[in-house]
A and B are shown apart, each in its own frame.
Chain A
C-alpha cells in the first residue's frame, strides 16, 4: 500500500515538469490563439465574440485554395519522402554490415547540423539563374542561355523532401531494426518471392514506423515556412505564408489566429483521414505488442 503511494507520488513528480511544459507552451498558447480567432473587431480595441474570421476565410477562395494546395503538396512530399526514405532505412537496418550501421545513421543526421536557413540558401546558390547548376549546364553546352531553376513547385517539393526525409528515416530504421532476419528467411523458405516477402512481411512489419514517419513528415511539411518561401518565392502559395502575412504584414491577429487554427484542424483531419483510409490505428504506432 505504502509502496504503491510512493510509486504514484514519484510518477506525479516525474510528470510534473512535462505536464507544465505541455500546458504552458503548447496548450495555453493554442487556447489563446483559438480565443483570438473568435474575436471580431468592431472598433479600435473593441472586440465582440463571433465567427466572422472563419466566414471571411470561407468566402475568399484564395485562402482555402492555398490551404488545399499546401495539403496536397505536403501529401506529395510525404509520399516522396517515404519512397526515398524506405530504401535508405532498409539498407541501414538490414543490409549494411553491423559495424557501419551507427555511422550511416549519424551520416543521415549531418544535414540537421546546418540550420534551415543556411540549407535553403545552399539550394539557392545551386539553383538560381547564375547558380552552379545553370552554369555547369551551360559550360557543357547542354543549354544555351542561363535557366532559372528556382521559384517553381518542383524545386519546392525537392527542397522539402530533402529537409524532412530524415524524419522518415529515423522511425523506419528503428522499426526495421526490430525485425528478425529469420522472418524474411521464413518468408522466402515458404515460397515467397522477393516481392511477396517485401509486400506481405516487410511492409506490414514496418507499418508502425511508416505511419509514424508519414505523420511527422506531413505535419512538418504543412507547417514549414522557410523552404517554400525561399525556394518557391512569391508564387509558392504556402499557407504558412498567409499566416505570416496576416500576423506581421497586416497586423491582423484575429485573421492570422484563425488561419493557424484552421491549419492545425485541417492537417489533423488529413492525418485522421489517412489513418482511416489505410486502416491503421494511431495506437498501434505508439504501442507495439
Chain B
C-alpha cells in the first residue's frame, strides 16, 4: 500500500506547463525527496498534493483514495511551509492545538497531545512561549510538531531549512531524519540542495523543468545517473564534451574537445559513433598514480592548486590538454605528498565514467 501516489500529474498556468506528467509512488513510512533547481515546479507539485492548486490533469491518491474532490482542510496531508507560517498571534501551545481544535478534540485530549508532541520534539517547556521568542531551529521543530500532532498520512515539507544558517541547517538535517524515524510517518521533502536530499532520503526524485528525470535511492542517483541532468545536478562532477569514436560492449570511446581519449560506460544511453556526448566523472573516483590497468582511463598533468576542506579536500589538476580537473584527496592525511607543481598521473575506472548524448546547442 502506498501512502501517496501521483499519476501523470500536470499543471498548466496559461500556456506555461509548471508540472508535466509527474508520477510517483511513496511507500508508507519512508522519506521521499524531490530535488530540483529553482523554478522547476516543486512547490507547484506540493501545492497540488495539499489541495491549494487543482491539477490540470492526472490523479492524486492518498492511502489509495483519490483526493481530487476534497478541499485542503479535508485531506490528511499536512504541510510545513517554506517560511513555516507559524501563527504569530498565538503562543506555541495554541499553535499546536489549532489543528486539534479544528477537529473538535476535547480539552483534556488537546492538553495531553500537545504535551506529548512537545516532549517528542525535545521542547517540553515552550508551550507558553510566544513564537518570536523561539530560535530558528525551535520554530522549525514547532512547525513540524504542529503538523505531526494531527497524525497525518503524509507530511509535506517545502524547503523548510531554506531560511536557516548553514550550521543550523546541517544539524537540522540529521534532526529531521531522526524525527521522521520517531514519528514513523511518510515525509515528502522538497529541496534544491542536493546534500539535504542525499543525506535524509530513502528515495529521491530529481526534477527538472516540470518533469521527473529519475527516481531512485541516493546511491543509485549518485553512482548510476540516467540522464546528463542528474549526473550534473547530483554530487560534484568533472565534465567534458566530446565526440563518440567507437562503441563496444556498452563502453564508448570518446575523444574530448581537448583531444584526450576517454572510455566511458554508456549503459542505456542511446549513443552511436559520431554523436557528440557529455562525459561525467566524480572527483572521488579519480586516483593519483597507481598502475595502469586495462579498464582504466589515464590522464597526465600537473597539480595546479590544493583546495583544503577537511575530508572533502580537492586537488585541481591541469591536464596536458589545458583543462582543470577536480580530484578528491585525503586532506586529513598530513603526510599527503601532493604539492602544487607536482606532476600528476590520474586514473579512474571505465565503469565510473558516465556519458550521455549532449544536448543540441
Residues of A within 8 A of B (CB): 180, 182-183, 185-193, 196, 200-201, 204-205, 207, 289
- Set B72, B88, B90: member contacting A185, Cβ < 8 A: B72
- Set A180, A186, A191: member contacting B150, Cβ < 8 A: A191
Most buried by B among A186, A193, A196: A186
Using a Cβ cutoff of 8 Å, how many contacts connect chains A and B? 61
Closest to B52 in A: A185
The reply to whether A190 and B102 form a contact with Cβ atoms under 8 Å apart is yes
Q: A94 to nearest B CB, angstroms?
A: 14
Complex Cα spacing A189 to B99, Å: 9
Complex Cα spacing A289 to B133, Å: 11
Residues of B within 8 A of A (CB): 50-52, 71-73, 77-79, 81-83, 85, 87-90, 98-99, 102-103, 132, 146-147, 150
- Set A180, A191, A204: member contacting B102, Cβ < 8 A: A191
Q: Take A188-B73, A189-B72, A189-B78 as given contacts and tell me if A180 and B85 are in contact as well, using a CB distance cutoff of 8 Å.
A: yes
Closest to B100 in A: A191
Complex Cα spacing A187 to B150, Å: 13
On chain B, the residues within 8 Å of A193 by CB distance are 73, 102
- Set A186, A192, A201, A207: member contacting B81, Cβ < 8 A: A186
Most buried by B among A187, A188, A190, A289: A190
Most buried by A among B81, B85, B99: B85
Task: Identify 19 residue pairs between A and B in the complex whose beta-carbon atoms are under 8 Å apart, listed by A's number.
Answer: A182-B81, A182-B83, A182-B85, A185-B50, A185-B79, A186-B85, A186-B87, A187-B98, A188-B71, A188-B72, A189-B50, A190-B98, A190-B147, A192-B99, A192-B102, A193-B102, A201-B89, A204-B89, A205-B88
The reply to whether B52 and A191 form a contact with Cβ atoms under 8 Å apart is no
Q: A101 to nearest B CB, angstroms?
A: 20
- Set B79, B85, B147, B150: member contacting A183, Cβ < 8 A: B85
On chain A, the residues within 8 Å of B81 by CB distance are 182, 185-186
Interface of A is mostly: helix
The reply to whether A185 and B98 form a contact with Cβ atoms under 8 Å apart is no
Complex Cα spacing A182 to B71, Å: 16
14 more A-B contacts (CB under 8 A) besides A180-B83, A189-B72?
A182-B81, A185-B72, A185-B81, A185-B85, A189-B50, A190-B98, A190-B146, A190-B150, A192-B102, A193-B73, A193-B102, A196-B102, A204-B89, A205-B88
Most buried by A among B52, B81, B83, B89: B89
Closest to B103 in A: A191
The reply to whether B98 and A192 form a contact with Cβ atoms under 8 Å apart is yes
On chain A, the residues within 8 Å of B78 by CB distance are 189-190
Q: Take A185-B52, A200-B98, A289-B132 as given contacts and tell me if A192 and B73 are in contact as well, using a CB distance cutoff of 8 Å.
A: yes
The reply to whether B99 and A191 form a contact with Cβ atoms under 8 Å apart is yes
On chain A, the residues within 8 Å of B87 by CB distance are 183, 186-187, 201
- Set A182, A185, A190, A204: member contacting B99, Cβ < 8 A: A190
Closest to A191 in B: B102
Complex Cα spacing A59 to B76, Å: 67
Complex Cα spacing A196 to B101, Å: 10
Q: A95 to nearest B CB, angstroms?
A: 15
Complex Cα spacing A185 to B132, Å: 20
Complex Cα spacing A168 to B132, Å: 29
Most buried by A among B88, B90, B146: B88
On chain A, the residues within 8 Å of B85 by CB distance are 180, 182-183, 185-186
Complex Cα spacing A92 to B312, Å: 53
Q: B101 to nearest A CB, angstroms?
A: 8
On chain A, the residues within 8 Å of B72 by CB distance are 185, 188-189
Q: B265 to nearest A CB, angstroms?
A: 45
On chain A, the residues within 8 Å of B79 by CB distance are 185-186, 189
Complex Cα spacing A44 to B116, Å: 81
On chain B, the residues within 8 Å of A183 by CB distance are 85, 87
Most buried by B among A182, A185, A191: A191
Sort A-B residue pairs by CB-CB distance and give the 5 closest, nearest first.
A190-B99, A191-B102, A186-B85, A182-B85, A204-B89
Complex Cα spacing A207 to B85, Å: 18
The reply to whether A189 and B98 form a contact with Cβ atoms under 8 Å apart is no
Complex Cα spacing A190 to B76, Å: 9
Complex Cα spacing A125 to B203, Å: 73
On chain B, the residues within 8 Å of A185 by CB distance are 50, 52, 72, 79, 81, 85
On chain B, the residues within 8 Å of A289 by CB distance are 132
Closest to B102 in A: A191
Q: Take A180-B83, A186-B81 as given contacts and tell me if A191 and B73 are in contact as well, using a CB distance cutoff of 8 Å.
A: yes
